[in-house]
Amino acid sequence: MATIQIQKRPKFAIPQLSSDCRRRIHRAQMVTLHSYIQRIADNPCAVDLCIPYLLSYIHDDIEAIDNELISLGLFDQAMGKKKRR
């Protein structure tokens, strides 16, 4: 009976997002969801002083995610660059 050897590691690793990147995505989702719910529950005409801080917080998370995606080469095709190896 012949045995088939299974390759343990792929020749080229598929880029994966880090757990920190996934945490930032989830955190940005939850901050926007809760701020939206809070705005609906409160008076929609009132101006919140925390909105600039929330937007800055979300911006920082999205910027970090963007930098990680670019460093992994996942945006290369969309940006018109040659694929990295």
pLDDT at 48 over 80: no
Q: Taking the complete model, does pTM exceed 0.95, yes or no?
A: no
Residue 65 lies in a domain: yes
Q: For residues 82 and 76, is the Cβ–Cβ distance under 8 A?
A: yes
Residue 66 domain flag: yes
Whether residue 83 lies inside any domain: the answer is: no
Sequence-distant (≥ 6) Cβ neighbours of residue 60 within 8 angstroms: none
- Is the model's pLDDT at 66 over the cut of 60? yes
Q: Which residue has the tokens 């694929």?
A: 83
Q: Look at residue 25 and tell me if it is in a domain.
A: yes
- Number of domains into which the chain is organized: 1
Whether 35 is covered by a domain: the verdict is: yes
Residues 6+ apart with CB under 8 A from 25: 61, 65
Domain that holds residue 63: 20-40+50-72
